[in-house]
Amino acid sequence: MSSKANAPIGIFDSGIGGLTVVKAVMEKLPHENIIYYGDTARVPYGIKSISTVREYALQITDFLLTQQVKTILIACNTVSAAANQDVRARAGTIPVLDVVEAGTKAALRAQAASNRIGVIGTMATINSQTYEQSILKENSNKRVYSKACPMLVPLAEEGWISNEISRLTIAEYLQDFRDKSLDALILGCTHYPLFKTEIEDFLKDSGTDVIDSAVSIAAKTEALLTENELLNTSGKTGRFDCFVSDKPQRFQTLAERFLGKKLNRIEISPLL
Amino acid sequence: MSSKANAPIGIFDSGIGGLTVVKAVMEKLPHENIIYYGDTARVPYGIKSISTVREYALQITDFLLTQQVKTILIACNTVSAAANQDVRARAGTIPVLDVVEAGTKAALRAQAASNRIGVIGTMATINSQTYEQSILKENSNKRVYSKACPMLVPLAEEGWISNEISRLTIAEYLQDFRDKSLDALILGCTHYPLFKTEIEDFLKDSGTDVIDSAVSIAAKTEALLTENELLNTSGKTGRFDCFVSDKPQRFQTLAERFLGKKLNRIEISPLL
């Protein structure tokens, strides 16, 4: 195993939602060391201007590069939409994967003929039309339907995952999509995998495959590391280092809900 | 009229919610010039640590002081809770009013014997127990019931003010309060006045007075300016200057919903 294989995978998000990506990578690649950066002091990015999102994303990229990461996963849909080219340029020879690309590829593969694809995400992700462009670049015959669902993030953070309010909210946002009988629906926000079961229930008679891009990017990471002979083959359980720019109230509870397990140590490392 | 009377009133908030205070002050004091600062690049404060909220509040105070304001209104409940003493110290001889103090006084006056007072707000405001302390300092015989309602801000920003989802959310949060038949309920977040009618409807049989602290602080501002002979008596309609640290998507729509009228010019003035 090359010494570089022992280097960590860097994963970042505007806040704690990206821990759903950490969870998926841990499950797929349990021997990898992972460094996570969540910009909790400045979350949410989804309502900020594109130039602000770019500036923040580059600050985090610089932080991860100083940590000698072997690859960078952009776990934030807003950053993938607004700044993925900027992050790639800054990262140079370090490969960068992002959730938009991963979700797009998975949606196109979901069914024999995925012709009608839905995307849900934050206002910024949807307004940027990144998923739409990403899908049409792969295949211009597809039809893409997009919808911003800004209430799903606060619902996830309140822990209202499967009550009457979350079901009504999902119905309010997805009624049109159910009527259209889409082939695939991309969960284009790192918080949304928490509602995967409820969304699948709501769409159950429409034949729509629900795409969890956290799972998709974990699979792409395995392929990338294998191809570049960078898989950590030490056999030891990987180390997880969690950095945040601020430690908000209820952070521990929320982080553990997203990560799906206990989180022992969190370091506060502001970027400004 | 003294030249200082022509100086503007400075009003600030973590975002655009404080425009409900601007609206109330405009209605009460139409001849006053007003400068508003909304820290839209770093909103929401409610989930941030107290030290971060203090630092941000002082940066905005400095900005308003350079604009030669004659008084400062803290339109943000989180700042009132976490940093009102810091802002007062920095402002020196310029008087500072805050929504917590204004809401407290109004709640205590609401009924002949307001003995059981409820407070709703963001997580940070409620966890800080500022309203509780503020009320008990005035009268230690009162009983205070507090509840964080984090879903109400995103609901207001989504424009879901009086649909089934907002009604269920209000019911979920306020059921206990209705059962307790409170004398007064303080809307301890600048977004909440948008739900005043729905909250009054839900509490209609409980005899609870709903206290809108935007209206309360506008009344206190009039009293303060009158007492200090600082009322603008020019007879002209006051100028309104709106500064924000970032101009998020949908800003115009949202700002106008909170302000209750058209907003012509917004300047972007980051603090960092």
End-to-end Cα spacing for chain A: 37
List of domains in chain A: 3-98+215-268 (3.40.50.1860), 100-214 (3.40.50.1860)
A169 closest CB neighbour out of B124, B153, B165: B165
B165 closest CB neighbour out of A123, A158, A168: A168
Return mean pLDDT, chain A: 92
Task: Tell me what pLDDT residue A263 has.
Answer: 86
Per-residue pLDDT of chain B (272 residues; tens, 9 = 90+): 677 999 999 999 999 999 999 999 999 999 999 999 999 888 888 777 889 899 999 999 999 999 999 999 999 988 998 899 999 999 999 999 999 999 999 999 887 677 899 999 988 788 889 899 999 999 899 999 999 999 999 999 898 999 999 999 999 999 999 999 899 999 999 999 999 999 999 999 998 999 999 999 999 999 999 999 999 999 999 999 999 998 766 778 888 988 988 888 888 888 75
Do you find a cis peptide bond into B44, omega within 30 degrees of 0? yes
Q: Which two tokens mark B99?
A: 């929504």
pLDDT at A88 over 80: yes
Task: Tell me what pLDDT residue A110 has.
Answer: 81
Distance from CA of B259 to the nearest CA of A (A): 19
Distance from CA of B228 to the nearest CA of A (A): 39
Bigger pLDDT: A110 vs A80: A80
Query: pLDDT over 70 for what percent of chain A?
Result: 98
- Judge whether A150 is closer than 8 Å to chain B, CB to CB: yes
Question: Could you give the CA distance from residue A31 to residue B204 in angstroms, rounded to a whole number?
Answer: 59
Q: Which amino acid is at A56?
A: Y
B158 contacts on A by Cβ (under 8 Å) = 150-151
B40 contacts on A by Cβ (under 8 Å) = 47
Instruction: Supply the residues of B annotated as catalytic.
Output: 76, 189
Backbone angles phi, psi at B236, to 5 degrees: -85, 155
pLDDT at A98 over 90: yes
- Judge whether B165 is closer than 8 Å to chain A, CB to CB: yes
- Judge whether B161 is closer than 8 Å to chain A, CB to CB: no
Q: Are A46 and A20 in contact (CB under 8 A)?
A: no
Bigger pLDDT: A1 vs A158: A158
Q: Which amino acid is at B6?
A: N
With CB atoms and an 8 Å threshold, state whether A124 touches B249: yes
Q: What is the DSSP string of A224-251?
A: HHHHTT----S-SPPPEEEEES---TTH
Q: Which amino acid is at B181?
A: S
Backbone angles phi, psi at A132, to 5 degrees: -55, -50
Ligand-binding site membership of B163 (annotated): no
- Judge whether A246 is closer than 8 Å to chain B, CB to CB: yes
Using one digit for the tens of pLDDT, what is the confidence trace for A183-237?
A: 999 999 999 999 999 999 999 999 899 999 999 999 999 999 999 999 999 999 9
Can you tell me the mean pLDDT for A73-93?
94
pLDDT at A248 over 70: no
Backbone angles phi, psi at A178, to 5 degrees: -65, -40
Ligand-binding site membership of A13 (annotated): yes
- Judge whether B160 is closer than 8 Å to chain A, CB to CB: yes
End-to-end Cα spacing for chain B: 37
Sequence-separated contacts (24+) of B192-197 with Cβ below 8 Å: B192/B120, B192/B121, B192/B149, B192/B152, B192/B156, B193/B20, B194/B20, B194/B156, B194/B161, B194/B257, B194/B258, B195/B152, B195/B155, B195/B156, B195/B161, B195/B166, B195/B170, B197/B162
Ligand-binding site membership of B14 (annotated): yes
- Judge whether A116 is closer than 8 Å to chain B, CB to CB: no
Nearest to A195 by CA among A159, A240, A144, A145: A159
Question: Could you give the CA distance from residue A38 to residue B60 in angstroms, rounded to a whole number?
Answer: 25
Q: CA-nearest residue of chain B to A49?
A: B248
Using one digit for the tens of pLDDT, what is the confidence trace for A163-190?
A: 999 999 999 999 999 999 899 999 999 9
Ligand-binding site membership of A31 (annotated): no
pLDDT at A40 over 70: yes
Using one digit for the tens of pLDDT, what is the confidence trace for A112-129?
A: 677 899 999 988 789 889
Q: Are B235 and B31 in contact (CB under 8 A)?
A: yes
**Which whole-number Å values give the CA distances from B129 to A21, A120, B21, B82, B170, in the listed order?**
36, 37, 22, 10, 21
Task: Tell me what pLDDT residue B257 has.
Answer: 87
Q: Are A24 and A260 in contact (CB under 8 A)?
A: no
Q: Are B29 and A226 in contact (CB under 8 A)?
A: no
Q: Please tell me the number of Cα atoms within 13 Å of B125 on its side-chain side.
A: 28
B123 contacts on A by Cβ (under 8 Å) = 249-250
The partner residues of A144 in beta bridges, in order of sequence, read A117
Question: Could you give the CA distance from residue B244 to residue A57 in angstroms, rounded to a whole number?
Answer: 21
B172 contacts on A by Cβ (under 8 Å) = 165
With CB atoms and an 8 Å threshold, state whether A150 touches B154: yes
Nearest to A216 by CA among A91, A73, A112: A73
- If pLDDT is split at 50, 70 and 90, which confidence band does A271 have? confident
Environment class of A12 (CB within 10 Å of its CB; exposed 0-12, middle 13-18, buried 19+): buried
- Judge whether A155 is closer than 8 Å to chain B, CB to CB: yes
Report the side by side order of strands in the sheet with B266-268: B96-98, B71-74, B9-13, B34-38, B240-244, B266-268
Using one digit for the tens of pLDDT, what is the confidence trace for B2-56?
A: 779 999 999 999 999 999 999 999 999 999 999 999 998 888 887 778 898 999 9
A252 contacts on B by Cβ (under 8 Å) = none
With CB atoms and an 8 Å threshold, state whether A165 touches B160: no
Q: Which amino acid is at A159?
A: G
Task: Tell me what pLDDT residue B82 has.
Answer: 87
B41 closest CB neighbour out of A52, A154, A172: A52
Ligand-binding site membership of A206 (annotated): no
A165 closest CB neighbour out of B49, B158, B168: B168
Q: What is the DSSP string of A28-56?
A: H-TT--EEEEE-TTT---TTS-HHHHHHH
With CB atoms and an 8 Å threshold, state whether A153 touches B157: no
Question: Could you give the CA distance from residue A237 to residue B58 in angstroms, rounded to a whole number?
Answer: 45
Task: Tell me what pLDDT residue A249 has.
Answer: 63
Q: Please tell me the number of Cα atoms within 13 Å of B22 on its side-chain side.
A: 32
- Judge whether A124 is closer than 8 Å to chain B, CB to CB: yes
